[in-house]
Amino acid sequence: MEIHKTSWPMRVLVLVLFLYLLAPVILVFPISFSGDQVLQFPPSFWSTRWYTALFQNTVMLKAFWTSLTLAVVVTILSIVIAVPAAWTMTRTSFFGKEFLFNLFTAPLLLPTIVLGLAILIVFASFGLLATMQGLVLAHLVVTLPYALRVLAVSLGTQDRACEEAARTLGAKPLTVFFRVTLPMLTPGIVAASALCFLVSFDEVVITLFLTGPRISTLPVELYNYVFNQADPLVAAASVLLILLTLGVIMIVERAMGLGKAFVK
Amino acid sequence: MNAAAETAPRTWRSGELAIVLLLPIALINAIGFILPVLNLARYSFNQSTAGGGIADVFTWENWTGLLRDPFYLELIFNSVWISLAITLTTLVVSYPIALYLHRSTGSWKTFLTVLVISPLLTSAVVRTYGWIALLTDNGPVLSFLRYVGLPAPSLMFNIKGVFIGLTEILMPYMILALMAGFGRLDPRVEEAARTLGATPSRTFWKIILPLTLPGIALGCLLCFVLAVSSFITPKLMGGGRVFLLATEIYDQAIVTLNWPLASTLSILVLIVFGAALWAYSVVLRRLD
Amino acid sequence: MTKMKRAFGAGIVALSLSMLTAGTAMADNVVVAGYAGIFQENYVKAVVEPFMKANPDITVEFYPMPNSAQTLGTLRAQASAPQIDAAILDVSVAKAATGEGLFAPMDESVSKHIADLYPQARIAGVNAVGVTFDNLVLLYNTGKIKQAPDSWEALWDKTYAKQVSIPAVPDIQGTTLTIIANKMAGGTNYTETVEPGLKKLEALAPNVQTWDPRPDVYQPISSGTASIGIGWNARAQVYADLSGGKLGVVLPKEGSGFQINVIGLVKGGPASESAKKFVDYALSPEAQAAFTQAMFYAPTNSKAAPLISKEAIERTAAGSMDQMIDINWLEVAKIRDAITEQWRRRIIPLSR
């Protein structure tokens, strides 16, 4: 429907609501350039001191590298595990497939606070608390459903004609998969990777239960920092995070189109 | 797995290959999801001993204690109604945006969609931090209210701030769910109603709203569940007086280390969640 | 082609596995848990950094905690695989930690300085020794309250409705306030009942702006977000200076509660030997004097006093020992959880 049909009051209302929605995200940009010692808006003068402070904060830097490593490992493992699973879900039929698909995507439905506690209790007895292995496993629990879902949709909507043609021409199943199916799946893999990366990189509730003094992720450290300090350092970190996120979104947008990747 | 696929291309349906390919995801699902959740249910029947110890027994103590304790009954009641109120508010403020987005086209629509999704991809910690900056007593919101001469109640360290922050944090979910459900809303139907002389408000109540009810139901379900389980925002903005199920679970799990009680509360959250799902399915059935 | 891709895939898996193991902890990295914020800032400068300079082979990481209760929770959760080597926390909480076997024994084999500690710093039945002394004070914003209050009663003053900032239980400041309120309300022995104190606090609740001041209680009062509240003397003295006098600090006429922070070695901590070295340094006269000079915690080492300026000592708890209410923190340890429950159920809900 054309925009000009929307009445003026409606447009003003939408504008106000958009402002409300975006206010906290927009606000961190000016705050990050504050020169003040404490969090206040508007700042009394401008500076880049909090960016300098951020890059000198060893705890944050260490947490950033942990988060990055974690997100990369989790993303790679998610794709490696989810591609065969999604293929099985879309290219074969067996008894209980629906049930399994629902089971594998069920962790998404569970409130993260419940999942976090549940994982904490089990991991405590496995000795997985505050270990990289434990974090990877916990993050996989939440990223795999996303990866499986996106890849299954991607595979499900793929045109099968090429696969059929290749098979008729005598290609072995594995060849069909690697030469036909996988290349056609690239946009889906990119979208799923981006999604897994962001989910893992931003995950805070479950991770809060599993981190400790010797290993911690950036969102958890930011949470702790907001809890214990009141200076604009977190704003500077937030700006960089938002820019990183936007970068990843642009990759998804190029590969697949946003709507498809996020609307269920 | 290669051998199976190469020698017997026609026996995929046998399920052997399926098992091999699904094994990794099944293992992670079992270790990281099924086992922990079952264990959680079991823990709610364990006994907690002083100092974070746990006695491996079977007792209904946690459950009966919880349901007899007015403090926890109030906490559960508060959590549910606050979450419901937040869900409804989120619906009211999200609906116009979703409707507007549904009616926009082309790159304008893409741009707006990116705007809607961008907060979703920004950590809840960061957004809560933004709200703290906005809502503090000397912050821009209250300064503005005072400037224009409106009453400026304290918005931080109480349920009001949590309400405002959480509503905003849930908006993107609601908008996306609404848009997903707006598919049935054909602009021609609207136009037809208008041509036949219906007023805009009548068109809205009689045509638009009923057609978008499935989207509303989905969005409300999603936001209610997220509101019940959210704890970052109440923890950071609640001033230590906003006791909700999720914050209580965290405190019991991390500070007091009463895992049986935390487990019981978690299972309770799942029960509330189950009730919400049931209500959703009832609404959907009515709509069809 | 397929082979190449498979090799590539295997490479990715190998890479991710190698990244998995890269995150494991290094030896001789001592993690010390302690209070966040200004405490951390000054402690790192006055004690941790000089220690690291003297011991280049050891790195000390200060792990900030909002309060002792949370430290105890973390120690409990990690009991089977500790990540913290040493913890600085309140003595009553340390008593609970000792009872649960979370701390390794602390005696003169760990540090010879223990022999020089004041008697109050060596607590029987606690596997940790005093590292700082402090006391509770009344804080107020000098811009908003012109006449310095002289009594805790100022907190109950209706003039300051919704302007009072109280770090509630499980924070020890809440516990200490309970005992003070108990005495004010005519309670005689807090170990028997704190009921009069709890009743009195119920009347305080409607006045309270926040029970969980962020990032701490001193900054909102300095900035005027809140007008009045309670806090620890040492940190209050630092903020009084930092805020250019906007934060006023008063030791009320009713007296106050003396507080002891202890340092304990976590049983089975990953860097135990280096952690012992750190504890030894933390108790040394130099470290004690440096920290008192930096932020007005009274030293626990009797040999530190001569190294500290008179002005600094005067502003610590040591300068006002005669005004302290006698609090037996080991007795408080027994009733701490019960007090916490009562606050959550009876007092805090009254302020909604």
pLDDT at C79: 83
How many domains is chain A partitioned into structurally?
1
Indicate whether C153 and C226 sit together in one domain: yes
Distance CA B89, CA A72 (A): 37
Indicate whether C175 and C120 sit together in one domain: no
C83 CB within 8 Å of a chain A CB: yes
C22 CB within 8 Å of a chain A CB: yes
pLDDT at C321: 83
B286: amino acid identity, one letter: R
H/E stretch holding C63 reads strand C59-65
Question: Residue B156 and residue C352: Cβ atoms within 8 Å?
Answer: no
Q: What average pLDDT does this structure show over C203-208?
A: 92
Indicate whether C118 and C139 sit together in one domain: no
Question: Residue A227 and residue C84: Cβ atoms within 8 Å?
Answer: no
* A120-134, B81-95, B189-203, C203-217, range with the lowest pLDDT: B189-203
Give chain B positions within 8 Å (CB) of A238: 122-123, 126, 129-130
- Domain that residue C169 falls in: 134-258+328-351
Question: Residue B52 and residue C76: Cβ atoms within 8 Å?
Answer: yes
CB C253 within 8 A of CB C180: no
CATH of residue A160's domain is 1.10.3720.10
- Give C229 or C74, the one with higher predicted confidence: C229
Q: Would you call the peptide bond into C215 cis, given omega within 30 degrees of 0 as the criterion?
A: yes
Q: Tell me how many helices (H) and strands (E) chain C has.
A: 13, 10
A29 lies in some domain: no
> Is the model's pLDDT at A225 over the cut of 50?
yes
Indicate whether C212 and C345 sit together in one domain: yes
Strand ranges for chain B from DSSP E: 47-49, 53-55
pLDDT at B1: 40
CB C193 within 8 A of CB C183: no
- Give C25 or A29, the one with higher predicted confidence: A29
Q: With cut-offs at 50, 70 and 90, classify the pLDDT of residue A187.
A: confident
- Give B51 or C38, the one with higher predicted confidence: C38
Interface mutation vs chain A, best among C78, C171, C266, most A CBs within 10 Å: C78
Q: Which chains touch B (3 or more CB pairs under 8 A)?
A: A, C
Indicate whether C138 and C247 sit together in one domain: yes
Indicate whether C157 and C266 sit together in one domain: no
pLDDT at B123: 81
The angle, 0 to 180 degrees and rounded to 10, between the axes of the packed helices B159-181 and B70-103 is 40
Chain B residues 194-223 with a CB less than 8 Å from chain A: 200
Render C228-254 in DSSP notation, one character per residue: EEEEEHHHHHHHHHHTTT-EEEE--TT
Indicate whether C276 and C253 sit together in one domain: no
What lies within 8 Å, CB to CB, of C103 at 6+ separation is C94, C97, C127, C128, C264, C265, C266, C267
* A188-197, B48-57, B153-162, B225-234, range with the lowest pLDDT: B48-57
Beta bridge mates, C249:
C139
Indicate whether C250 and C210 sit together in one domain: yes
Instruction: Provide the token pair at B209.
Output: 């709203």
Question: Residue B118 and residue A22: Cβ atoms within 8 Å?
Answer: yes
CB-closest option in C19, C23, C219 to A38: C219
Query: How many residue pairs bridge chain A and chain B with CB atoms within 8 Å of each other?
Result: 265
Ramachandran angles phi, psi of B24, nearest 5° = -60, -50
Render A43-97 in DSSP notation, one character per residue: -SSB-SHHHHHHHH-HHHHHHHHHHHHHHHHHHHHHHHHHHHHHHHHHH---TTH
CATH class of B65-287: mainly alpha
Q: In this predicted model, what pLDDT tens digit does every residue of C269-313 receive, in sequence order?
A: 888 889 999 999 999 999 999 999 999 999 999 999 889 998 888
- Give C111 or B62, the one with higher predicted confidence: C111
Chain C residues 287-326 with a CB less than 8 Å from chain A: none
pLDDT at A42: 81
Is C124 exposed, middle or buried (CB count within 10 Å of its CB: 0-12, 13-18, 19+)? exposed
C77 CB within 8 Å of a chain A CB: yes
C156 lies in some domain: yes
A142 lies in some domain: yes
Question: Residue B266 and residue A114: Cβ atoms within 8 Å?
Answer: yes
Distance CA B93, CA B106 (A): 24
A240 lies in some domain: yes
> Is the model's pLDDT at C61 over the cut of 80?
yes
Indicate whether C139 and C236 sit together in one domain: yes
CATH of residue C37's domain is 3.40.190.10
Interface mutation vs chain A, best among C21, C88, C214, most A CBs within 10 Å: C214
Interface mutation vs chain B, best among C211, C222, C336, most B CBs within 10 Å: C211
CA distances from A214 to A57, C25, C73, C271 (A): 16, 7, 16, 12
> Is the model's pLDDT at C156 over the cut of 90?
yes
A49 lies in some domain: no
Q: Which of A82-86, B45-49, B236-240 has the highest mean pLDDT?
A: A82-86
The angle, 0 to 180 degrees and rounded to 10, between the axes of the packed helices B209-229 and B159-181 is 140
- Give C251 or A129, the one with higher predicted confidence: C251
pLDDT at C199: 94
A192 lies in some domain: yes
Residue with tokens 């990877």: A136
Q: Which of A130-134, B87-91, B128-132 has the highest mean pLDDT?
A: B87-91
Distance CA A175, CA C215 (A): 60
> Is the model's pLDDT at A254 over the cut of 80?
no
Please, how many CA atoms are within 13 Å of residue C274, restricted to the half-sphere of its CB? 23
Q: What average pLDDT does this structure show over C123-143?
A: 93
Q: What average pLDDT does this structure show over A151-164?
A: 87
pLDDT at C24: 43
Question: Residue A245 and residue B21: Cβ atoms within 8 Å?
Answer: no
* B12-21, B84-93, B99-108, C75-84, range with the lowest pLDDT: B12-21
A50 lies in some domain: no
pLDDT at C9: 54
Q: What average pLDDT does this structure show over B236-254?
A: 87
Chain A residue with CA closest to C85: the answer is A213
Indicate whether C191 and C335 sit together in one domain: yes
pLDDT at B7: 42
Distance CA C64, CA C84 (A): 11
> Is the model's pLDDT at B266 over the cut of 70?
yes
Question: Residue A174 and residue B2: Cβ atoms within 8 Å?
Answer: yes
Indicate whether C126 and C155 sit together in one domain: no
A44 lies in some domain: no
pLDDT at B52: 61
C8 lies in some domain: no
Render A197-233 in DSSP notation, one character per residue: HHHHHH--HHHHHH-BTTB--HHHHHHHHHHH--STH
Shortest Cα distance, chain C CAs vs residue A60, angstroms? 13
Indicate whether C223 and C122 sit together in one domain: no
pLDDT at C7: 54
Strands C86-90 and C256-265: antiparallel
pLDDT at B58: 84
What is the average pLDDT score of chain A? 87
- Domain that residue A184 falls in: 57-262
